[in-house]
C-alpha cells in the first residue's frame, strides 16, 4: 500500500527496477519434450554470451501431468553475473510458451500471463485430460473460454495449431514453439542464432529446422491472425448444422431427399436428410421410406401443437433421434461396417500402410447368445429364451472373447455372411423389441408435448441415453426408463422441461461423477 | 541398466582443471564428489537425485580409473550403513537419496553413524523434495540433522558454490568427526548453470588399503558406556571443532552493507529468490548488489552463535527467511540473542508464510511487511510490485477457473500396470469393493482417475505391511499392492514375510515391470536385462517361496485382462490359508520402447520382415459411451467429435502414439464393452509367401465387397 508519508521519503530505490532478466515460462505436459525446448532456449542465450538459468520440477508430473519449466536470461555486467530466480513470479513473466491449449489456460490462472508484459505463444490443439475423456458423454472443456481469457491477459499472442504443423513437417511441437518464439521477436536473437542451436543438437536436425521455419513463416506471414478465429474450438452437436450438399448421386435416394425437402419444414430438412442416409445405410430404401413417413406423421402432430411458433423443434429433434433409434447397434451392423471396402482404405491411411506393406486387422469381439438370438426370427428366439437350460448351455458355447482376423478369407466370409443377414432383420426378435421401445418413446414424447411442448422435445432428446452394446446398452435402457418415469411424475410442473434436461444430463454422467439418484431424491423432496 | 544412455552426461565427469561445466546442478554435484576424492558412493534413486545415480551407474570406466566403489543400494538404510566405511578409515564417502522419505528409512543407521562419529569425510546428498512438484509428504530434513547432530549444508543455488561446499563439507566432516548432509532442493537439482572444474582426485587411501589393514576401536561402537561418551563428545569436541571450521573457512556468507538498521538472515537455498524479492522492492539490482545486509547461512546446522550475534547486534530487527516448518532456525536465533542479552528483534514466520514454497512473491510480501514495520524509509518511493491479482479478477479469467480441467499424472501409454488395474476394477464390479492398500511407485497412479483404486499409502515397500491389521479370516479380503522396487527395498520382509508368518488371509499383488520404473528405470534384483556389473534375473517368485509363501500365482503377461481378472477372482475367493500372492509381470513400456524402437527401425531399414502393430477404433461402431476410457486412461486413447449432426457424444479415438499393448482390445473383450477396437498389423518387407496369401484372400474379399457395393444404395452426394 502506498502511504502518504512514504511518498515524501527522500530515498530512491537502488538501481533501475526495470533492469531485470528476461523471464520465460514453458508450460507443458510431462513427456512432451518441454525439457528439449528449455535446453534450446538456454543454449540460445549462452551462445550470445548471456547468463541463462533454467529450473524445472519434473517429479511425478513427468508421467503425463501438467508441469512447468522456467528460464531466466541476462547479460553479465563486466565480471558480475546476474542472480537469477528459480520460479516464475505472477505478473513478471515476459514470455509464456504453452504446448497445449488448456495448459495455456492454466498459465493464465497462475497469473503469469499479464497485459503489458507477456507474449503468449501457444498451440491451440487439445490433448484431452482424463476427466474430459472419461465423461460418459461430451465432457470436453470449452476452448473458447481460454481464447477469451488470453485475449484480455496477454500483451501479444501467437496462437495456432503448432502440433499439426510439427506433425506435417515430421517433427515435434518443441520445434514449432521455438520457431514461433523466434518470429515473435520477443528475444533479441536472430533467426540464424536459433538455427545454430537446433543444428548443434544433432538429433533430427533437418525435420526440426523445417518445422521451425514453417512456424516462423506462419507467424510472420501478413495474413496471420493473432487468435480468436484460429482457435480450433470443439463445437457441441447442438450448435452445428448438417453441412450436406444437396444432391445424392443415387436417383432413388434423390427422390426421397426431394420428398423431405417438399414435406418437412426447412428447419428440420438437413437433419432429416442425414437421418435418411443413416437408416437407408442401416437397412434399405423401404426402411428409409418408413423413416420419412414416421416423420411426416410426427410433423402433423407437431403442427397441431403449434410447432410453427416453436421453430418445429419437435420435428427437428425427432428427425435426429428417430434415425438413431431406427439404426440400432446389432451384430449385422457391426459385421457390415467391418467388411466395407472403404474401411480398409481408411485404416491403411490411418496407420500409414502403403502398397509396399501388407495390412491385417484383428477385431476384439465378445458376442453373447443374447446378440445372436437377437437376429433370429422373433418366434424362434422367444422359444429359445424360454428353454433356460438350453439357452445357458448355448451361451457358454458362444460367449467368449474372439479375435477375428478380418482380412483372412475364412473370417471375412463369416463376417460377410453375418452382414448379409439384414434381410431377416425386420422379422428378428431384436427388431420387434426396438420397434416397441421406439413407439413407446414417441408416444411418451407426444403425450407430454400435448401439455408442454418443450417437455415433449426434452423427452425426445432422452433417446440419447440408449447407446452401446451388451451391458452398456442394458444400463442405458434402465437409465432411460428411470429418467422417463421421473419426468412423467413431474410433467405437470411449469418448469418440467428444465428438470427433464437436468435429469438427462445427470443420467449421462451417472457412471462417473454425476448423481442421478441424488437428483431424483431432490426432485421427490419437493414434488 | 535400463536401455537409456547417459553417455553425454558421463562426458561431463571427465572435465579437467579450468574447463567449464554446463548442465544440471545434480550433475555438478556428481562431478564435485569426484573432485573431492571420494572412495565410495552409494544411494537410492528417486526424484530429484535419480540423475546422480544414473550417471554414476553408466560411468564405470571413470570410477574404475579413480578407484571409486559405486553401488546402487538396496535402500536408503543400506546406503547410510555404507558410510560406516568412514568410521575407522580415512575414506571419503557419499550417499544420496530423496528426502525426507529416504532419511526416514536411513535414520537408524544415520543415528548410529553420528553417535560414534567418523574419521573419513562422510556426506549425505539430500534431495529435498519440498514444494511444487514434490511427490511426498511436506517435511524438513533439518530435524534429522538436529536430532542426530549431523551438520546440514544448504548451499546458495550456484553451481560453483555447491561444488565448493562439497569439498569443504568433506573437510568439515573430517575436522569435526561428524557426518555432513548437503541439502539441495528440487529446483536447484534441476537447475541449469555453469562452474569452472578442477581435476578429479584419486583417493590417497583406498578401500583396498582399508581391507588389507582392518582396524577396530570399541570406543566408536554404540554400546554403553561408549554411547554416553559419544553424546558428551558431540557437545564438547565435535561441535566446537565444527564451529571453528565453519567460521575459519567462512562457509557462511555476508552480502550488502556492513551496517544497517535491519538485516536479513537466510538459508543459502533461499538466496536467489530473496535477491529477486529485494529487487522488486528496489533494494537490489539484478547482480545481487543489495542495500540490506544479508547473512546467508550455507550451513544451517549448527547455527554459529557468534556470527548471528555479530550480525544482529547493532540492528533493531532481523528477518529470518526459512522455508518449511517448524521454524527451527528462527527459534535458534531467538535463543542465541536472548542468551547473550542482545535486544534485536527476530522476525520470520510472523511476516512470512509458516508452510509451503517460499516463492519470490511470498518472500517479497514478507520482506515488505518486515521493512514496513521496522525501517519504512528503506522502501523509498515503493515501485509497484508485480501483481497479477487485477488480471485474475477479470471476469473472463475468473470464468476460466471452472473450465480448465486438472491434469494429474497417470500411467504412460502402453503401461503394463493399466490392464492390472482394469482387471481389478472389473473383479470389484463382480465381487464388490475391497480394502486396497497402495504403495509408492508408478502403480500409485491407480488412486487417481480413471481407476480410483487404493485407500492408503504408508511408504515405499510398505503396501503389503499396511494391510497387516486386515489379516484375519472372515469378511472381504484386503488387497495390497506393491511394486518390484518396493519389494526389494523392504517389502519382501516387512510385507510378504510378515504376512506369511502371521498367516495373513489377504491378497498381495506384486507388480513386476522389470525395473525401478518410477525413479527412471534403474535395474533391481529381479530385472530381466543382463547387466555385466550387477547380478540381475533373480525371480520374485523364488524370493516369496523362500520366505515360505505357498499360494503364488504368476501372470507373465499382464495385458491378458481376462486372465488377470481370473487370478484376482481366484485369490479373493479361494479357501486356501495364508497370503494369496499374485506376481504380475510385464516390462515397463517406457523402457521397452526405448530398447525395442531403434531395433525395429533398423530391422525395417535393412529389409527384414517386421510386423508393426497399432490399435484403432471404428468410429461408426463406437457409440461414445467412453466406458473403455474409464477402464484405461491411456494417453493415446482419447475422444474426438465427429462431423455428424446425428451424434451428440464424441467417439473414442486412438492416436499415433499407440504402442499396441492391447489393453483397450482386451478390456473391451473382457468387460464385454463393444466391438469397436481393432488391432492393425502392418507387415513391413513382406515375404513372397505373405504376398501370395495376401493376393488370394484380398482378391476374394474385393470380389465380395464389390458384389455387395453394387447392390447397395450409394450414399454419395455431389
Instruction: Report yes or no: A360 at the B interface, CB cutoff 8 Å.
Output: yes
Query: What's the mean per-residue pLDDT of chain B?
Result: 94
The verdict on a CB contact (< 8 Å) between B623 and A338 is no
Check residue A61 and give its pLDDT. 59
Mutate which: B191, B400, B591, B619, vs A, most A CBs within 10 A = B400
Chain B, 231 to 290: residues with Cβ < 8 Å from chain A are 271-273, 275-276, 279-289
Instruction: Report yes or no: B637 at the A interface, CB cutoff 8 Å.
Output: yes
Is a pLDDT exceeding 70 seen at residue B575? yes
The verdict on a CB contact (< 8 Å) between B397 and A152 is yes
Instruction: Report yes or no: A474 at the B interface, CB cutoff 8 Å.
Output: no
Mutate which: A25, A130, A401, vs B, most B CBs within 10 A = A130
The backbone region for B674, taken as left when phi is positive above 0, alpha when psi lies in -120 to 50, beta otherwise, is: beta
Check residue A234 and give its pLDDT. 41
The verdict on a CB contact (< 8 Å) between B702 and A152 is no
The verdict on a CB contact (< 8 Å) between A111 and B392 is yes
Is a pLDDT exceeding 90 seen at residue B369? yes
Mutate which: B407, B622, B669, vs A, most A CBs within 10 A = B407
Report pLDDT digits (tens) over B155-213.
999 999 999 999 999 999 999 999 999 999 999 999 999 999 999 999 999 999 999 99
Q: Please name the residue ranges forming H helices in B117-259.
A: 142-148, 159-176, 186-189, 207-212, 226-233, 239-248
Chain A, 89 to 148: residues with Cβ < 8 Å from chain B are 89-92, 102-103, 105-106, 108-109, 111-115, 127-138, 140-142, 145-146, 148
Check residue A399 and give its pLDDT. 86
Instruction: Report yes or no: A387 at the B interface, CB cutoff 8 Å.
Output: no
Is a pLDDT exceeding 50 seen at residue B476? yes
Instruction: Report yes or no: A264 at the B interface, CB cutoff 8 Å.
Output: no
Instruction: Report yes or no: B649 at the A interface, CB cutoff 8 Å.
Output: yes
Report pLDDT digits (tens) over B282-310.
999 999 999 999 999 999 999 999 999 99
The verdict on a CB contact (< 8 Å) between A472 and B623 is yes
B78: nearest Cα among B27, B40, B130, B51: B40
Check residue B533 and give its pLDDT. 86
Report pLDDT digits (tens) over B105-115.
999 999 999 99
Q: CA of A205 to nearest chain B CA: how many angstroms apart? A: 18
Instruction: Report yes or no: B559 at the A interface, CB cutoff 8 Å.
Output: no
Mutate which: A44, A60, A270, A355, vs B, most B CBs within 10 A = A60
Containing B7, the helix (H) or strand (E) segment is helix B7-13
Q: What is the average per-residue pLDDT within B491-520?
A: 95
Q: Are B633 and B529 in contact (CB under 8 A)?
A: no
Q: A56-60, B274-278, B540-544: which has the minimum mean pLDDT? A: A56-60
Q: What is the average per-residue pLDDT within B563-588?
A: 97
Is a pLDDT exceeding 90 seen at residue B493? yes
Check residue A8 and give its pLDDT. 41
Q: What are B490-494's contacts with CB under 8 Å, separation 24+?
A: B490/B75, B490/B105, B490/B460, B490/B461, B490/B462, B491/B439, B491/B461, B491/B462, B491/B463, B491/B464, B491/B465, B492/B543, B492/B544, B492/B547, B493/B547, B494/B461, B494/B462, B494/B464, B494/B465
Check residue B178 and give its pLDDT. 98
Higher pLDDT, A508 or B126: B126
B272: nearest Cα among A76, A13, A82, A68: A82
pLDDT-derived band at B118, boundaries 50, 70, 90: very high
Residues of A in contact with B630 (CB under 8 A): 134, 136, 511-512
Question: Residue B230: which residues within 8 A CB-CB, separation 6 or more?
Answer: B115, B116, B117, B222
Residues of A in contact with B647 (CB under 8 A): 237
The verdict on a CB contact (< 8 Å) between B668 and A13 is no
Chain B, 173 to 192: residues with Cβ < 8 Å from chain A are 186-188, 190-192
Report pLDDT digits (tens) over B238-258.
999 999 999 999 999 999 999
Q: CA of A305 to nearest chain B CA: how many angstroms apart? A: 24
Q: What is the average per-residue pLDDT within B422-431?
A: 95
For chain B, what percent of residues have pLDDT higher than 90? 87
How many interchain CB pairs under 8 A, A with B?
Answer: 457
Report pLDDT digits (tens) over A211-230.
999 999 999 986 654 443 33
Check residue B110 and give its pLDDT. 98
Q: Which residues of chain A are modeled with pLDDT < 70?
A: 1-18, 59-63, 222-246, 511-514, 527
Report pLDDT digits (tens) over B207-222.
999 999 999 999 999 9
Check residue A472 and give its pLDDT. 81
Instruction: Report yes or no: B37 at the A interface, CB cutoff 8 Å.
Output: no
Instruction: Report yes or no: B380 at the A interface, CB cutoff 8 Å.
Output: yes
Q: Which residue of A has its CA nearest to B613?
A: A351
Check residue A73 and give its pLDDT. 97
The verdict on a CB contact (< 8 Å) between A31 and B562 is no
Mutate which: A83, A203, A395, vs B, most B CBs within 10 A = A83
Under DSSP, the state recorded for A11 is P
Q: Are B518 and A61 in contact (CB under 8 A)?
A: no
Adjacency order of strands within the sheet including B253-255: B253-255, B294-297, B262-267, B317-321, B345-347
Amino acid at each position: 500500500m502506498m502511504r502518504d508519508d512514504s511518498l515524501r521519503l527522500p530515498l530512491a530505490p537502488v538501481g533501475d527496477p526495470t533492469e531485470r532478466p528476461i523471464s520465460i515460462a514453458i508450460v507443458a505436459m510431462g513427456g512432451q519434450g518441454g525439457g528439449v525446448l528449455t535446453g534450446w532456449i538456454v543454449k540460445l542465450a549462452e551462445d550470445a554470451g548471456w547468463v541463462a538459468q533454467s529450473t524445472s520440477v519434473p517429479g511425478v508430473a513427468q508421467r503425463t501431468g501438467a508441469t512447468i519449466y522456467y528460464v531466466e536470461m541476462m547479460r553479465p555486467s563486466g565480471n558480475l553475473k546476474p542472480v537469477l530466480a528459480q520460479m516464475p513470479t505472477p505478473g513478471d513473466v515476459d514470455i509464456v510458451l504453452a504446448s497445449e491449449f488448456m495448459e495455456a489456460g492454466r498459465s493464465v490462472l497462475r497469473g503469469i500471463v499479464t497485459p503489458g508484459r507477456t507474449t503468449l505463444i501457444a498451440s491451440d490443439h487439445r490433448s484431452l485430460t482424463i476427466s474430459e475423456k472419461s465423461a460418459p458423454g461430451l465432457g470436453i472443456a470449452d476452448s473458447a473460454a481460454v481464447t477469451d481469457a488470453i485475449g484480455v491477459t496477454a500483451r501479444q499472442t501467437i496462437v495456432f495449431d503448432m502440433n499439426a504443423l510439427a506433425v506435417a513437417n515430421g517433427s515435434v511441437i518443441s520445434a514449432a514453439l521455438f520457431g514461433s518464439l523466434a518470429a515473435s521477436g520477443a528475444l533479441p536473437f536472430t533467426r540464424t542464432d536459433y538455427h545454430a542451436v537446433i543444428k548443434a543438437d544433432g538429433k533430427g536436425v533437418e525435420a526440426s529446422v523445417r518445422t521451425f521455419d514453417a512456424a516462423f513463416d506462419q507467424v510472420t506471414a501478413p495474413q496471420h491472425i493473432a487468435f480468436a478465429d484460429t482457435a480450433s474450438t470443439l463445437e457441441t452437436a447442438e450448435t452445428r448444422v448438417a453441412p450436406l450438399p444437396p444432391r445424392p448421386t443415387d436417383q432413388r435416394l434423390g427422390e426421397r431427399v426431394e420428398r423431405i425437402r417438399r414435406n418437412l419444414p426447412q428447419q428440420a430438412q438437413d437433419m432429416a436428410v442425414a437421418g435418411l442416409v443413416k437408416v437407408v445405410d442401416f437397412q434399405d430404401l423401404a426402411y428409409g421410406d418408413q423413416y420419412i413417413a414416421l416423420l411426416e406423421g410426427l410433423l402433423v402432430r407437431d403442427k397441431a401443437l403449434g410447432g410453427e411458433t416453436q421453430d418445429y423443434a419437435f420435428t427437428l429433434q425427432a428427425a435426429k433421434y428417430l434415425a438413431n433409434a431406427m439404426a440400432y447397434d446389432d451384430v449385422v451392423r457391426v459385421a457390415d461396417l467391418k467388411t466395407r471396402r472403404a474401411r480398409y482404405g481408411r485404416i491403411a491411411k490411418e496407420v500409414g500402410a502403403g502398397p509396399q506393406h501388407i495390412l491385417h486387422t484383428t477385431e476384439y469381439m465378445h458376442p453373447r447368445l443374447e446378440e445372436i438370438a437377437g437376429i433370429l426370427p422373433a418366434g424362434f428366439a422367444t422359444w429359445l429364451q424360454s428353454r433356460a437350460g438350453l439357452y445357458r448351455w448355448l451361451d457358454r458355447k458362444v460367449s467368449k472373447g474372439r479375435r477375428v482376423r478380418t482380412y483372412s478369407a475364412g473370417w471375412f466370409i463369416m463376417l460377410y455372411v453375418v452382414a448379409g443377414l439384414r434381410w431377416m432383420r425386420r422379422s428378428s426378435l431384436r427388431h420387434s423389441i426396438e420397434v416397441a421401445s421406439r413407439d413407446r418413446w414417441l408416444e411418451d414424447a407426444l403425450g407430454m408435448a400435448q401439455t408442454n411442448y418443450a417437455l415433449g422435445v426434452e423427452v425426445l432428446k432422452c433417446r440419447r441415453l440408449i447407446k452401446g452394446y451388451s451391458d452398456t446398452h442394458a444400463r442405458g435402457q434402465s437409465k432411460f426408463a428411470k429418467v422417463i418415469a421421473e419426468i412423467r411424475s413431474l410433467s405437470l410442473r411449469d418448469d418440467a422441461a428444465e428438470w427433464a434436461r437436468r435429469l438427462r444430463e445427470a443420467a449421462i454422467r451417472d457412471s462417473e461423477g454425476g448423481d442421478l439418484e441424488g437428483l431424483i431424491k431432490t426432485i421427490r423432496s419437493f414434488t | 541398466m535400463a536401455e537409456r544412455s547417459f553417455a553425454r552426461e558421463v562426458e561431463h565427469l571427465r572435465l579437467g582443471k579450468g574447463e567449464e561445466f554446463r548442465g544440471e546442478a545434480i550433475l555438478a554435484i556428481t562431478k564435485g564428489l569426484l573432485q573431492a576424492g571420494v572412495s565410495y558412493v552409494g544411494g537410492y534413486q528417486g526424484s530429484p537425485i535419480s540423475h546422480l545415480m544414473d550417471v554414476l551407474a553408466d560411468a564405470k570406466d571413470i570410477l574404475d580409473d579413480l578407484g571409486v566403489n559405486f553401488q546402487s543400494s538396496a535402500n536408503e538404510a543400506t546406503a547410510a550403513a555404507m558410510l560406516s566405511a568412514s568410521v575407522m578409515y580415512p575414506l571419503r564417502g557419499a550417499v544420496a537419496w530423496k528426502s525426507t522419505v529416504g532419511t526416514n528409512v536411513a535414520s537408524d543407521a544415520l543415528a548410529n553413524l553420528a553417535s560414534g562419529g567418523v574419521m573419513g569425510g562422510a556426506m549425505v546428498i539430500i534431495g529435498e523434495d519440498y514444494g511444487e512438484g514434490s511427490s511426498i509428504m511436506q517435511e524438513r530434513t533439518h530435524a534429522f540433522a538436529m536430532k542426530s547432530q549431523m551438520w546440514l549444508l544448504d548451499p546458495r543455488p550456484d553451481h560453483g558454490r555447491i561444488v565448493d561446499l562439497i569439498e569443504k563439507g568433506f573437510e568439515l566432516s573430517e575436522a569435526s568427526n561428524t557426518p555432513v548432509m548437503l541439502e539441495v532442493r528440487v529446483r536447484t537439482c534441476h537447475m541449469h548453470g555453469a562452474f569452472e572444474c578442477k581435476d578429479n582426485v584419486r583417493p590417497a587411501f583406498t578401500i583396498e588399503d582399508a581391507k588389507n589393514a582392518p582396524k577396530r576401536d570399541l570406543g566408536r561402537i554404540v554400546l554403553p558406556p561408549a554411547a554416553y561418551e559419544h553424546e558428551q563428545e558431540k557437545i564438547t569436541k565435535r561441535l566446537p571443532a565444527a564451529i571453528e571450521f565453519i567460521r575459519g573457512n567462512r562457509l557462511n556468507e555476508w552480502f550488502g552493507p556492513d551496517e544497517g538498521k535491519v538485516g536479513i538472515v537466510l538459508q543459502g537455498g533461499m538466496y536467489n529468490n530473496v535477491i529477486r524479492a529485494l529487487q522488486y522492492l528496489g533494494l537490489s539490482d539484478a547482480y545481487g548488489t543489495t542495500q540490506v545486509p544479508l547473512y546467508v547461512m550455507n550451513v544451517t546446522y549448527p547455527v554459529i552463535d557468534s556470527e548471528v550475534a555479530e550480525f544482529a547486534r547493532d540492528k533493531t530487527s532481523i528477518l529470518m527467511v526459512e522455508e518449511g516448518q517448524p521454524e527451527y532456525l528462527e527459534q535458534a536465533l531467538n535463543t542465541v540473542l536472548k542468551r547473550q542479552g542482545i535486544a534485536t528483534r527476530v522476525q520470520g514466520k510472523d511476516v512470512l508464510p509458516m508452510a509451503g514454497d517460499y516463492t519470490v512473491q511470498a518472500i517479497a510480501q514478507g520482506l515488505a511487511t518486515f521493512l514496513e514495520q521496522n525501517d519504512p524509509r528503506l522502501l523509498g518511493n515503493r515501485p509497484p510490485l508485480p501483481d497479477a491479482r487485477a488480471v485474475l479478477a477479470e471476469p473472463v479469467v475468473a470464468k476460466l477457473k471452472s473450465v480448465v480441467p486438472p491434469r494429474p499424472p497417470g500411467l504412460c501409454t502402453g503401461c503394463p500396470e493399466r490392464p492390472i488395474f482394469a482387471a481389478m476394477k472389473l473383479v470389484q464390479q463382480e465381487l464388490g469393493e475391497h480394502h486396497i492398500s497402495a504403495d509408492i511407485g508408478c502403480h500409485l497412479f491407480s488412486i487417481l482417475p480413471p481407476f480410483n483404486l487404493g485407500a492408503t499409502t504408508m511408504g515405499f515397500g510398505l503396501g503389503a505391511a499396511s494391510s497387516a491389521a486386515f489379516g484375519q479370516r472372515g469378511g472381504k479380503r484386503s488387497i495390497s499392492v506393491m511394486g518390484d522396487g518396493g519389494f526389494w527395498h523392504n517389502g519382501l520382509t516387512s510385507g510378504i514375510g510378515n504376512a506369511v508368518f502371521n498367516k495373513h488371509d489377504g491378497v498381495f499383488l506384486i507388480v513386476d515391470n522389470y525395473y525401478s520404473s518410477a525413479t527412471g528405470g534403474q535395474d533391481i534384483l529381479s530385472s530381466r536385462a543382463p547387466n555385466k556389473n550387477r547380478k540381475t534375473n533373480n525371480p520374485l517368485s523364488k524370493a516369496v517361496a523362500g520366505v515360505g509363501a505357498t499360494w503364488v500365482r504368476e501372470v507373465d503377461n499382464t495385458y491378458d485382462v481376462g486372465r488377470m481378472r481370473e487370478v484376482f477372482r481366484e485369490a479373493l475367493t479361494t479357501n486356501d490359508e495364508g497370503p494369496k500372492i499374485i506376481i504380475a509381470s510385464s516390462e515397463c513400456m517406457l523402457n521397452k520402447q526405448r530398447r525395442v524402437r531403434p531395433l525395429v527401425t533398423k530391422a525395417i531399414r535393412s529389409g527384414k520382415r517386421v510386423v508393426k502393430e497399432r490399435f484403432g477404433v471404428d468410429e461408426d461402431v463406437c457409440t461414445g459411451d467412453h466406458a473403455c476410457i474409464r477402464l484405461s486412461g491411456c494417453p493415446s486413447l482419447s475422444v474426438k467429435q465427429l462431423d455428424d449432426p446425428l451424434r451428440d457424444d464424441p467417439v473414442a479415438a486412438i492416436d499415433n502414439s499407440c504402442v499396441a499393448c492391447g489393453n483397450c482390445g482386451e478390456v473391451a473383450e473382457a468387460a464385454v464393452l463393444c466391438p469397436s477396437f481393432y488391432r492393425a498389423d502392418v507387415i513391413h518387407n513382406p515375404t513372397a509367401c505373405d504376398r501370395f496369401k495376401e493376393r488370394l484372400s484380398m482378391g476374394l474379399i474385393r470380389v465380395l465387397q464389390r458384389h455387395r457395393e453394387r447392390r447397395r444404395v450409394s450414399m454419395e452426394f455431389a
